[in-house]
Structure 1
Amino acid sequence: MMRSGLTELEAVLAVARHGSFRAAAAALEMSTSALSQAVASLEGRIGTRLFHRTTRSVRLTQAGERFVADVAPAMADIRGAIERASDEGGPPTGTLRINASFGAAQRVIGPYLIPYMRKYPGVHLDLVTEGRLIDIVREGFDAGFRTEDTVPGDMIAIPFGARIRFAVVGSPDYFAKHGRPRTPADLSRHACIRARMPAGHIYRWEFERHGEALAVDVQGALTLDAPQLMLEAALAGLGLTYLTEFNVEEALAAGTLERVLAEWTPPFDRLCLYYPGRRHVPAPLRALVDLIRESG
């Protein structure tokens, strides 16, 4: 009975987290029909509908939102108790769920996560990328990767790697036609590829030199919301873009993009692995923490 009840609770939390029965079933490694039956069984037992279901979407009812808010912390404690009991010796096993921005995931997959998976084959790593900053505890994640300035203050944060530096770049063809900006003020005379942030606002390009900091609301006919698209647009000569050095290093090395205003773009924050400090740290996460600390 208890095992069945825990399965039902995990099913409800997974559907709430993924917004889809199919995706939740895949995450829990069970069939969609079995997961749907588990949710329906719990709804029948408590006499309350937890989800609004249509052919296109699944969302929590008001009662479902309250239920998930109450149950999620308790389930995290139960998982922690199970993990503590299973941590007694042997290599780490189980699932490690991590949330990250796409840019952060790009930076950590090669130097950190691939070596981690090779070292700990018993761990199932579930990495979810999204632009918006979420509450990783409420959403059921063990940890996250973000820049230092965006990590919530109540989290344990482990900075690593080099500080992130941005670059203003354009194609040789663009510069041949329009010239080069010498200062951030010159950007007002250039076509700039604007960046829409996950929260919906337009990013203001940040500059700093000799203690002078600027945030420029650049103008241009094209607004995009993904670094890869901004890179493609800049390569096509549609304007200047503002991306991390990581995003443009290959194009700069190949000469397909050229950099300007380098003296105005000093290094900013580093990446962090962060996780809640008030709960037991599961063995898979401890192993990742140790690997990152050893790698520097």
Structure 2
Amino acid sequence: MRGVEYAELEAFLAVARERSFRRAADALAVSPSAISHTVRALEARLGARLVNRTTRSVSLTEAGQRLHDGLAPAFADIKGAVQEIATGAAAPSGLVRLTVPRVAAQMVLAPILGSFLASFPKVRLEVTVDDALVDSVADGFDAGIRLADQVRRDMDAVAVSGSLRGVVVSSPAYLAAHGIPGSPDDLHRFRWLNYRQPFSGRLLPWEFVRGSETVALSLDGPLASNDPDLLIAATLDGAGLAYLTEATVADHLATGRLLRVLDDWCPTFPGWQLYFPKGRHIAPALKALIGFLSQPSR
């Protein structure tokens, strides 16, 4: 590949990543007009329009998306390999872009950010919090965190938490007024505060296991949201019962502001995993994060 061809492809990837010629120009330290000219030259050489441009937005054409999906991983491998050789035994450095859901950001990343950034001062993290199941490679992320059963098979993954546990909780005032369910069959008498899954649009079923019995229930209630914090706030305010991850309400359980019900029916499930493309070069900065998060003590 000639130098001019590499420059054209690098400019195109920057525009695809930033969705802006100006921001792409800033990232590559060139002028917006130079970026525009370079991308047009690439389009002319390939005989295909790659980018749709308007005064307000920049998007990829179908051909542009195919080119991006094929190029982005290869360019990441090239840059990672060059960086690793250039730095040698030097401390890991560079940018790591992560996509994580809100709960994982709170449970996995928030507790270690200070110590990780202090341990690796040349590493920069850019964390996008998004509960949707994004395509991490197509969207330009180096890695992501998801529940084990949500990680695609074409990804490598390492566990970054122990097993998680579901828990049904409510406020003492609500339970005093409405009673306490003795089994999942009793739940139809109570008000449900439901979590709506962003990636499917469906309400999260309430799943219960006791011995050989397995029950999965779905019931409309007065509130549904894709924000766990809002559901917790409504539960604290006495609006009903919520089915949540135990770790997200541990403090409220410890202080008695929330109480467990059906505790012997609540199952555990595999925890969070950090995932990244299988068989690809792993940059030193990402290696450092993987090692830090996967330590047994975490």
TM-score (normalizing by structure 1): 0.87
Aligned-residue offset at 1:29: 8.0
Alpha-carbon distance between aligned partners in 2 of 1:91 and 1:65, rounded to the nearest angstrom: 35
Partner of 2:253: 252
Pairwise CA distance, 1:36: 7.0
**1:157 paired residue number:** 157
Counterparts of 1:229-244 in structure 2, within 5 Å, are: 229-244=230-245
Distance across 2 between alignment mates of 1:179 and 1:170: 11
Distance 1:87 1:25 in 2: 26
Q: Which residue of 1 aligns with 2:139?
A: 139
TM superposition shift of 1:44: 4.1
C-alpha deviations, 1:82-133, integer Å up to 9, x for none? 2232241111011112221111111122443332111000011111221122
CA contact (8 A) 1:11 1:35 kept: no
Q: What is the one-letter code of the residue matched to 2:99?
A: N
- Residue identity matched to 1:42: V
Cα root mean square deviation, aligned:
2.7
Q: Structure 1 pair 241/19, CA: closer, same or farther in 2 (3 Å)?
A: farther
Aligned with 2:16: secondary structure?
Answer: helix
Rate the CA distance shift 1:137–1:22 in 2: closer, same or farther, 3 A.
same
Compared with structure 1, are the counterparts of its residues 210 and 45 closer, same or farther at alpha carbon in structure 2 (3 Å cutoff)? closer
The equivalent residue for 2:196 is: 196
Matched-pair contact (CA < 8 Å) for 1:8–1:39: no
Mark the CA change 1:102 to 1:258 in structure 2 (over 3 Å): closer, same or farther. same
Work out the CA distance in 1 between the residues paired with 2:28 and 2:177.
56
SS at match of 1:275: strand
User: Cα–Cα, structure 1 residues 162 and 22, in superposed 2: closer, same or farther, change >3 Å?
Assistant: farther
Structure 2 letter corresponding to 1:192:
W
Secondary structure at 1:168 match in 2: strand
**Higher deviation after alignment, 154-163 or 208-217:** 154-163
**CA–CA distance in structure 1, aligned partners of residues 217 and 32 of structure 2:** 50
Shift of 1:157: 1.8
Q: Which runs of 5+ in 2 are unaligned?
A: none
Once residues 13 and 178 of structure 1 are traced to their aligned partners in structure 2, the CA distance between those partners, rounded to angstroms, is 58
Q: What is the aligned partner in structure 2 of residue 72 from structure 1?
A: 72
- Which stretch shows the higher mean deviation, 213-222 or 130-139? 130-139
Answer with 50-59 or 241-250: which moved more: 50-59
Partner of 2:60: 60
Question: Percent identity among equivalent residues?
Answer: 40
How much does 1:197 deviate? Answer: 0.5
| Alpha-carbon distance in structure 2 between the residues aligned to 1:36 and 1:196 | 44
Whole-angstrom distance in 1 between the partners of 2:217 and 2:58: 40
Unaligned stretches of 5+ residues in structure 1? none
* Aligned AA (1:159): A
Distance 1:215 1:18 in 2: 42
Which amino acid in the other structure matches residue 191 of structure 2?
A
Alignment coverage as a number of residue pairs: 293
Q: Residue 257 of structure 2: SS of its match in structure 1?
A: coil
2:216 aligns to what SS in structure 1? strand
**Alignment of structure 1 residues 109-148 onto 2, 5 Å:** 109-148=109-148
Alignment of 1:177-192 (within 5 A): 177-192=177-192
Map of 1:287 onto structure 2: 288
Q: CA–CA distance in 2 between the matches of 1:189 and 1:25? A: 60
| AA partner of residue 166 (structure 1) | G
The equivalent residue for 1:207 is: 208
Moved more, 250-259 or 97-106: 250-259
Would you say the 8 A contact 1:87–1:283 is kept in 2? no
* CA gap 1:19/1:176 in 2 versus in 1, 3 angstroms: farther
Amino acid in the other structure paired with 1:194: N
CA–CA separation in structure 2 for the residues paired with 1:41 and 1:222: 51
2:43 counterpart (41, 46, 53): 46
TM-score (norm 2): 0.86
